[in-house]
Structure 1
């Protein structure tokens, strides 16, 4: 498959009254055409900031790129002027925000918000805009499109609002869709419908999806490859099977052990990851997970781990993979992927 997006050594920080927050630290990954790649991790790990960097959505200032490169179809995004990035936002790369309750404008009708991507660019006349809006509403499974087109967001259910957000992301016929926790505020029934919709759109329209989530069940159902982030870094990456069946990083193992499977007894206590995430005002010198890791060695606190290749697609940043390290069997749950969906 051809690479459609290449992120190399990306570092992104924020100026604050308390100092500089180093939110994303030396992150690199590629995205291939037509695949679904998941970025998973707990709140504050840098996954949403990384996603928003791709189309420069983070406000600058206070945010700023301190290093790195983002290539979309060979074009450098980071140095691209606002006029040029506007040609990519929405049209070539669509973005689904995580909370439709607050992401939609309550003062504008749904149809006008869907059309807004084209208004500044003056690509279609008024009649053509409405035709495209109604067409995309039908595509995302919204019936009675004419009525929905003229409604305000408060007249729609949560699931319907999220479908409108997906319609807004799709209206420009983008090559990449970035979905930032698209099911966070939805109940499980509507969540399943939205995930099925995204999967169908990816299969039928051959779109590339970057899915940001903290839900391993969503990752299992949707993704081809997974990036596990912690402390602003990618600590493990691989195919879905690699992450669920053959994890090599203690943080990934901790995530797997903290969720219930269908076989978990109701009286069984889940195993949380003890401790708190690292302070990104002053990131640790070594492994960002060392302070919470029961297997941490002296070197883990003082020196950043190398990235070790388990296979050609599965890598991990962990000193346990060093040839001189103790042999450790991580206690991740050996459960079927279908059990966590």
Structure 2
């Protein structure tokens, strides 16, 4: 699991709008290793979906544009690739599960034909072989009576069934990486658990690397090996799941964890919301993006962007609290 399949380096992506330029993703760097599940977590508008779509150049250009950075897949820079080169990567090398199957599936095409689209242009495959692959992946994602489903239209399937079809489309080409952008957002909790189990089992079976985009920390705990926490278009903390959940080092991550109910939460105990509003990405703050909402904020936080502090080999955070001259708090206290 040491081989780096994907390296995102200093990625900066913005959008031209009538109101000005929106700095959606700002200097984001992370990597993905062979066979691991990486979670990207954060509230709506933090830049996680834009980041994931940059990897396959799915954001429309214009109005979107790359301001800087590299996205290296097996050593090749995706940012510099042409549309023709990207077509060879989308689906075949990197699959994508979109967050809303209701709108992502083509309502005018039968399910089977949508799964087979990945094989368009493959002259080495007959129509019968393409159908065989489609039926095989439908079985793998837990859809019974594959022949019947193959010939149905999306409106004839339930929400959970549609999401399984989305997973089938993403995995049928046996890609090295699958990006799952909030794959369970529109589903109820019982179906969500089934879909996550399907995804986890297939990931292990195929040794596929997965990037899981979500705002749900329960999904992160169940699925991921490492976690990247985003806020205001930037990465504020990264580490293994245990480090992020049990040794939190950034005030925003702490706020996220305290804003959800736990099994041992008393029924009379109020959840703690994160006060304030996200930063304006038309004019991003000079310092830490979370400074205006942070209970620990110091004068330097709003003036200068924090340095990267290495807590352990895999655990990093961007927070001034870890500077040697910062006052002691529960987040920077040395662990025994």
Range class of TM-score, shorter chain:
over 0.9
Secondary structure of the structure 1 residue equivalent to 2:88: coil
Which residue in the other structure is 1:338 paired with? none
Q: How does 1:230-241 map to 2 (within 5 A)?
A: 230-241=231-242
Give the superposition deviation at 1:330.
4.1
3-state SS of paired residue (2:80): coil
Q: 1:20: Cα distance to partner?
A: 0.4
Question: What is the deviation of 1:243?
Answer: 0.4
Task: Give TM-score, length-normalised by structure 2.
Answer: 0.97
Report the secondary structure of 1:64's partner residue.
strand
**Displacement, 1:286?**
0.2
Question: Residue 38 of structure 1: SS of its match in structure 2?
Answer: strand
Superposed, 1:78-97 pairs within 5 Å as 78-97=79-98
Deviation digits for residues 104-162 of structure 1 (CA, Å, limit 9, x no counterpart): 11111100110111124545221111111111101111110000000010110111000
TM-score, length-scaled by structure 1: 0.96
Query: Offset at 1:264?
Result: 1.0
Which stretch of the first structure deviates more once superposed, 322-331 or 235-244? 322-331
Give the gaps of 5 or more residues in structure 1: 332-341
CA RMSD in angstroms comes to 1.0
Equivalent residue number for residue 220 of structure 2? 219
Alignment match, 2:267: 266
CA–CA distance in structure 1, aligned partners of residues 267 and 303 of structure 2: 41
Aligned positions, number: 331
| Partner of residue 150, structure 2 | 149
Task: Give the distance between the partners of 1:281 and 1:122, measured in 2 at CA.
Answer: 48
Distance 1:26 1:289 in 2: 16
* Residue of structure 1 equivalent to 2:38: 37
- What are the ranges of 5 or more consecutive residues in structure 2 without an aligned counterpart? none
Matched, 1:193 2:208: no
Q: Which residue of 1 aligns with 2:125?
A: 124
| 1:133 matches 2:97 | no
For 2:237, what is the secondary structure of its paired residue?
strand
Q: Which runs of 4+ in 1 moved over 3 A?
A: 120-123
How do 1:17-96 residues align onto structure 2 when only pairs under 5 Å count? 17-96=18-97
Distance of 2:263 and 2:124 partners within structure 1? 51
